[in-house]
Structure formats: C-alpha cells, structure tokens
Amino acid sequence: SEAGGSWATAPGQQLLALFYLLPPGQSSFGTVEEVPNYVEKSIPFFLAFMGLEFVVSWVQKRKLPGRVNDGISSLSLGILSRLPDVLFRSVELISYIYVWNNYRLFELPWDSPWTWYLTLLGVDFAYYFFHRISHEVNILWAAHQVHHSSEDYNLFTALRQSLLQKYTSWIFNLPMALFIPPSVFAVHLQFNLLYQFWIHTEVITNLGPLEWILNTPSHHRVHHGRNPYCIDKNYGGTLIIWDRIFGTFEAEDAKVVYGLTHPVNSFDPIMVQLRPLAHIWNTFWATPGFCNKLSVIFKGPGWGPGKPRLGLPEEIPVITGKEIPFNPSVPAYLNCYAVVHFAVIVDLYTELLGTVTTLSQGTILLRIGFIILSLTSFGLLMENR
C-alpha cells in the first residue's frame, strides 16, 4: 500500500486530482490508511497556480489579481483551519468510520467504478445542502462567513477557510456511511474540496456547455458576490445541477462586488473567525423573548423580530460600484517584511506536517502556538496596529 500511495500522488496524478479527473482505477483504495493526503500534497500546485494567475491577470488586464494584505490574510486563515488536523484525525472521518463500523446496512464494493461515481454524487449532494444551510442558519454562517470575508476574488481566496466549519459539516455525510466504504468517502471528501480551488478566479470567463453541469469560476463568482442578485445563490461544490434542481441558481450578470454585505474589516485571522460569534452573542442577549433569542441563533443572518426567516431582501445594501475594499496604508517595507516572514512560517508549517509523527506533543503544541502568534501578528501589522 505504501508503493500504491506513492504512485497515486505522483505529480501527474496529483494534478488530475486537483481537477477531479483522477479515474476510479487510480483513486480507489481498500482501507482509509492507504488513501493519500491529496490536499496536503497539493500545496506546491496551489502555489504554482497562484503564480500563473498573477501572470495571466497581468497579461489580460495589466493588473494583479489581489493585494498583499488580503492574500496573506487568506493564506493565514487556510493554515489556521488545518492546524487541528495536526493534532487530531479529521472529525469528518472519525464520525463516518464510527457509523460505518456500528450501523452500516450493507457494503458497496470499494473497487467498483459504480461505487466511485455514486460517492461523487453523494458527497457533492451532501455538500450542497450543508453549504446552503450554512448560509441560512446564523450560527453556521458565523463559521462559514470566513470564506466570504475577502473583498478580492482569486486563488488565495480559495484557501481562506473556517476553523470551525468542519465541526458541523460532518453530520451531512453520515447517511453515506450506511453503505459506502470509508476509504471511498475519504477520497471524494478531498477531491470535492480540491476541485473548488481553481474556480476561485477572475481570469477564466466562461466554459461553454460545461456551465450547465459543473460549478465554474463564473458560477462561483456569483456565490461570492454581495450584490443583491448574488445573495444565497450557487451553492454547488463540483456540480451546479443541484442549484438548477432546487432553484438556487443564478447566472453571472452585473459586475460582481465581492465580500460580506457588512465587511469584517480585519486581516487578523483570529478576529475574522470570532467577531461574528461575538455579534451573535451580543444580539442574543439584547433580543427580548426566549423564542426570539433562539431565532437569533437558528434563523438567517438577516433575521430580526417581525421579519421572514431569511430577512428582508430590500435590507441588503445596494451596490453602487464605488465600494472601496478595506486597505489600510502601510509602508512598502512592512509588506515586504510580512511576505518574507510569512514564507518562513509556511516552511515551518510544511516541515511540521512532515515530521509530526516524530515530535513530542509538547513540541507540536509549541510550534502550533508559534504559528498562530505569527499569523496574528502579520494581520495586526497590516492593519497598522
């Protein structure tokens, strides 16, 4: 299995995995232990495609696709979201394996292409509903909003992930554990996530007939927009068919303005994660009536007493086209320092991933603490604090 794992993550195979193009015969495994860590092994490709996006954007528009402060913020949030996996096995896999071991109804063959394709559909279907509920339930939105908090839209934004979201998303995958082997699920859980990396870009405009079936950069730009026509649309992960079936599809029209309707205005990764939770906490205590307090938590982010579950569409801020992203002015040398020091932290993080099995728990915790302290410091520096 060790040789198989090495072969399965050769550069060519890894590149195909990034686009969900690795066929069943090359991505089916008998046990979870044999499944490669496709996400971690994709880091060099993430960096390469980010560089390519900069080149293409400069050729197309004579401008870069993002800013130093926002890009470092996105990457910091991506690293922060993965740090718990250094200490613990993924909660998504732990819960899935538990249900499989104790409650499965029957067992589909792990090496069947039919099982592979069924799992592709199942994982994406579960993702659609979890993603939709994450926009429609305030407490879940408080976690998911991290991914939407960037006011740029580029491949850096794809890595801007929530630290907390995975601790609720696992519930939606459990029905598959009744009949789909964990090793097959573990592959598609990663492929579904990896596919969503490349659609976070403005340099790809339209993919023709594929737009009817696949989630594409055009569809996902709409999802990240704060224009009124973009709100709560295009939830799909790999496929856009679920949005077309359930009435949440919206084609790209007016120029999309990215970010939250009420921007967080911070590059501090801890602040971006926790400020919405603090807002819910304060609103909960300020809202009269027990039922209303529960509604603050379980209805939409735009809900208020006397309003529909998802709030009033007319209260969504109007887009004028003159919106200015949060962009504090800092000296050029400070940006240079942040980039260089961040590169050092990325190297420390990747080295931690490669040596975690040989380190003591105390050493691991100290390194994680140092990484978090550094990422937070970069955010504060880029806010001139």
Q: Do both 218 and 351 map to the same domain?
A: no
Q: Do both 309 and 342 map to the same domain?
A: no
Give the chain's end-to-end CA distance (angstroms, integer).
50
Q: Does 10 fall in a domain?
A: no
Q: Kindly report the pTM of this predicted structure.
A: 0.93
Q: Do both 339 and 305 map to the same domain?
A: no
Which residue did the predictor score with more confidence, 40 or 1?
40
Q: What are phi and psi of 116, to 5 degrees?
A: -60, -50
> What is the domain count for the chain?
2
Confidence of residue 205 (pLDDT cuts 50, 70, 90): very high
pLDDT of residue 64: 87
Confidence of residue 8 (pLDDT cuts 50, 70, 90): low
Q: What is the mean pLDDT of residues 203-224?
A: 97
Q: Does 5 fall in a domain?
A: no
Q: Does 360 fall in a domain?
A: yes
CB burial class (10 A; 0-12, 13-18, 19+) of residue 290? Answer: exposed
Q: Does 177 fall in a domain?
A: yes
Q: What is the average pLDDT value for the chain, to the nearest integer?
A: 94
Q: Do 155 and 198 meet the contact criterion of CB atoms below 8 Å apart?
A: yes
Confidence of residue 116 (pLDDT cuts 50, 70, 90): very high
Burial 326-340 (b: 16+ CB within 10 A, else e): beeebeeeebeebee
Q: Report the distance separating Cα 107 and Cα 179, nearest Å.
A: 5
Q: What are phi and psi of 63, to 5 degrees?
A: -150, 155
Three-state DSSP state, 153: coil
Q: Do 259 and 265 meet the contact criterion of CB atoms below 8 Å apart?
A: no
- H-helix or E-strand containing 304? none
Q: What is the mean pLDDT of residues 243-265?
A: 96
Q: Does 4 fall in a domain?
A: no
Three-state DSSP state, 282: helix
Alpha helices in 249-304 (DSSP H): 269-286, 290-298
The residue range of the domain holding 342 is: 332-382
Three-state DSSP state, 317: coil
pLDDT of residue 378: 96
Confidence of residue 1 (pLDDT cuts 50, 70, 90): very low
Angle subtended by helix axes 91-103 and 182-198, to nearest 10: 150
Q: Do both 243 and 373 map to the same domain?
A: no
Three-state DSSP state, 225: strand
Confidence of residue 223 (pLDDT cuts 50, 70, 90): very high
